[in-house]
């Protein structure tokens, strides 16, 4: 990339809250944000929105008759987008692109409509328009009264960082000056968690025990410990170096794994090796101060990514961290919430480590961070961001 892309604002709504100050405070404590809910008569750990954020979504749903029929994944994204655009200073006359993706889309709403169809043999009038994948970006455009291009997509768990890649491509091409990008996910349903259990990757650890329910970043664990979370995150991208930039995107990389089966990944995560090297093209590897790993909490997912990092960086590894021990795996929103952690570490010049991981010492300021994401299908993305001077 010849020119930097500015990140001029970021906003999220997640189990960590909905303000940057609140999110940072929760990152500084060593408590996870998991709760318990009964799914299929089993008590299951999930990471749901905090009470204040749930109230925000409830009020948003009641604010417009049209919004009463939208899925939580859409409302999460609208709430985050409103705040990000305001922070960036994009007024009502601004024209910008929108690319907000989701792995599962309108999960809860689709399942409810389908169950009703099975029970009655009839579908509700709004069943289709409120469950299409393009639902998210088009409703954000409606809410913000924007006339730019609207794009929605699903690339499993790397969806949000693929949205960022797409926004960068539009800005670099000159076809747009501003782009709102991110991901949203509301997957805390019986059927979705049953799917994860069927894959034998969902955590069976009781959070009342001494063990952490999600052992993301524990590379010696003997069982899979992934836990699902919900939330949305968006950031405002602008072409060039802006005075109000909170970070610059200075490298992007992507790659796809050659699959042996539907959810496979190689022992040394070849896709991650390729995506990280692409993002670091012409940039000294030793200048990377930290990596926010994808690390979903599964045995193979965590360890293969670590092996890929070791292959690329050798014995002198950057500081390594992940946020999934804290908020769970938010599928299509996970990459953008990892970006949030990186931006907060820039803002506070403080490395946030996993409390049960090997102790790492921050010895200098954090100026460059690499963020990784990968999803089913082996579609890896790596994004390198830099702190403004």
- Residues 179-189 have pLDDT tens digits of 999 999 999 99
Same domain flag for 29 and 160: yes
Is 84 within the bounds of a domain? yes
Binned at pLDDT 50, 70 and 90, residue 222 comes out as very high
Q: Residue 377 pLDDT more than 80?
A: no
How confident is the prediction for the chain on average, in pLDDT? 93
Render the burial of 44-81: b for 16+ CB within 10 Å, e for the rest.
bbbbbbbeebeebbeebeeeeeebeebbbbbbbbbbbb
CA distance 317 to 310: 7
Is 244 within the bounds of a domain? no
Run of H or E including 256: strand 247-256
Structurally, the chain folds into a number of domains equal to 2
Same domain flag for 269 and 375: yes
Is 211 within the bounds of a domain? yes
Give the list of residues 6+ apart from residue 62 with CB closer than 8 angstroms, or none.
68
Which residue, 178, 294, 159, 293, is CA-closest to 233? 159
Q: Which of 213, 239, 265 is the last residue of a domain?
A: 239
Q: Where are the alpha helices (DSSP H) in the chain?
A: 20-28, 51-62, 72-88, 107-120, 135-144, 159-173, 190-198, 270-279, 299-313, 324-327, 334-348
Answer whether 348's CB lies under 8 Å from 206's CB: no
Same domain flag for 12 and 73: yes
Same domain flag for 233 and 148: yes
Is 281 within the bounds of a domain? yes
> What average pLDDT does range 123-132 have in this prediction?
92
Is 158 within the bounds of a domain? yes
Give the list of residues 6+ apart from residue 229 with CB closer than 8 angstroms, or none.
14, 15, 33, 46, 47, 48, 188, 324, 327, 328, 329, 330
- Residues 264-295 have pLDDT tens digits of 566 778 999 999 999 999 999 999 999 999 99
Mind giving me the DSSP string for 5-27?
Answer: EEEEEEEEEBTTBSSHHHHHHHH
Give the CA distances from residue 179 to residues 2, 32, 90, 332, in Å, rounded to whole numbers and listed in that order. 18, 32, 11, 18
Binned at pLDDT 50, 70 and 90, residue 223 comes out as very high
Q: Which of 239, 263, 285 is the last residue of a domain?
A: 239
Per the model's pLDDT, the better-predicted residue between 39 and 151 turns out to be 151
Please report the pLDDT score of residue 210 as a whole number.
64
Instruction: Give 45's strand partners.
Output: 36
Same domain flag for 61 and 110: yes
Which residue, 234, 348, 374, 377, is CA-closest to 290? 348
Is 245 within the bounds of a domain? no
Give the Cα-Cα-Cα angle 126, 66, 84 (nearest 5 degrees): 120
Render the burial of 206-239: b for 16+ CB within 10 Å, e for the rest.
ebeeebbbbbbbbeebeebbbbbbbbbbbbbbbb
> What average pLDDT does range 298-307 have in this prediction?
95
**Tokens, residue 183:** 């991901």
Answer whether 371's CB lies under 8 Å from 164's CB: no
Neighbour tally for 321: CB within 10 Å? 25
Give the list of residues 6+ apart from residue 41 with CB closer than 8 angstroms, or none.
none
Give the list of residues 6+ apart from residue 322 with CB closer than 8 angstroms, or none.
216, 217, 292, 293, 294, 295, 338, 354
The pair phi, psi for residue 25, each rounded to 5°, is -60, -40
Please report the pLDDT score of residue 208 as a whole number.
66
Same domain flag for 45 and 162: yes
**Tokens, residue 353:** 């480590």
Which residue, 60, 81, 72, is CA-closest to 330? 72
Answer whether 319's CB lies under 8 Å from 360's CB: yes
Same domain flag for 98 and 132: yes
Same domain flag for 224 and 89: yes
Answer whether 10's CB lies under 8 Å from 182's CB: no
CA distance 35 to 51: 12
Domain that holds residue 304: 250-386
Answer whether 50's CB lies under 8 Å from 15's CB: yes
- Residues 361-376 have pLDDT tens digits of 999 999 999 999 998 8
Burial class for 84, CB neighbours closer than 10 Å (0-12, 13-18, 19+): buried
CA distance 372 to 382: 5
Q: Which of 239, 263, 295 is the last residue of a domain?
A: 239
Same domain flag for 104 and 206: yes
Please report the pLDDT score of residue 185 as a whole number.
98
Answer whether 218's CB lies under 8 Å from 205's CB: no
Is 334 within the bounds of a domain? yes
Q: Residue 79 pLDDT more than 90?
A: yes
Same domain flag for 225 and 286: no
Residue 173: CATH number of its domain: 3.40.47.10
Binned at pLDDT 50, 70 and 90, residue 312 comes out as very high
Is 178 within the bounds of a domain? yes
Same domain flag for 347 and 369: yes
- Residues 109-125 have pLDDT tens digits of 999 999 999 999 999 99
Please report the pLDDT score of residue 41 as a whole number.
65
Binned at pLDDT 50, 70 and 90, residue 96 comes out as very high
Run of H or E including 179: strand 178-185
> What average pLDDT does range 15-42 have in this prediction?
89
Same domain flag for 280 and 323: yes
Answer whether 328's CB lies under 8 Å from 227's CB: yes
Please report the pLDDT score of residue 262 as a whole number.
46
Element counts in the chain: helices (H) and strands (E): 11, 12
- Residues 35-59 have pLDDT tens digits of 888 766 678 899 999 999 999 999 9
Per the model's pLDDT, the better-predicted residue between 330 and 1 turns out to be 330
């Amino acid at each position: 990339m010849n020119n930097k892309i500015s990140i001029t604002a970021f906003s999220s709504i997640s189990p960590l809250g909905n303000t940057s100050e609140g999110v940072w405070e929760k990152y500084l404590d060593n408590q996870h944000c998991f709760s318990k809910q009964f799914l299929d008569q089993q008590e299951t750990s999930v990471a749901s929105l905090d009470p204040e954020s749930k109230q925000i979504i409830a009020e948003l749903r009641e604010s417009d008759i049209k919004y009463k029929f939208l899925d939580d994944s859409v409302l999460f994204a609208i709430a985050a987008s409103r705040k990000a655009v305001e922070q960036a200073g994009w007024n009502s006359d601004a024209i910008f692109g929108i690319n907000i993706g989701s792995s599962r889309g309108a999960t809860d709403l689709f399942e409810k409509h389908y169950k009703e169809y099975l029970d009655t043999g009839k579908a509700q009038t709004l069943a289709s328009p409120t469950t299409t994948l393009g639902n998210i970006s088009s409703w954000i455009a409606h809410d913000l009264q924007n006339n730019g291009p609207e794009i929605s997509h699903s690339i499993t768990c790397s969806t949000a960082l693929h949205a960022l890649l797409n926004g960068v491509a539009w800005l670099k091409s000159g076809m747009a000056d501003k782009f709102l990008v991110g991901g949203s996910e509301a997957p805390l349903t019986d059927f979705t968690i049953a799917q994860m259990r069927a894959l034998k990757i969902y955590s069976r650890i009781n959070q009342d025990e001494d063990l952490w329910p999600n052992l993301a970043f524990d590379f010696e664990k003997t069982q899979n410990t992934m836990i699902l979370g919900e939330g949305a995150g968006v950031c405002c991208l602008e072409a060039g170096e802006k005075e109000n930039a909170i970070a610059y995107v200075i490298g992007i990389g992507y790659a796809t794994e050659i699959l042996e089966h539907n959810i496979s990944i190689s022992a040394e995560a070849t896709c991650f090796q390729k995506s990280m090297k692409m993002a670091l093209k012409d940039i000294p590897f030793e200048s990377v101060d930290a990596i926010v790993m994808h690390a979903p909490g599964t045995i193979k997912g965590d360890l293969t990514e670590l092996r890929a990092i070791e292959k690329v960086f050798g014995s002198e590894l950057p500081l390594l961290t992940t946020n999934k021990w804290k908020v769970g795996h938010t599928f299509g929103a996970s990459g953008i919430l990892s970006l949030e952690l990186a931006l907060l570490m820039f803002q506070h010049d403080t490395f946030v480590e996993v409390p049960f991981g090997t102790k790492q010492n921050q010895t200098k300021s954090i100026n460059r961070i690499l963020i990784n994401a990968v999803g089913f299908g082996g579609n890896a993305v790596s994004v390198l961001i830099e702190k403004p001077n």
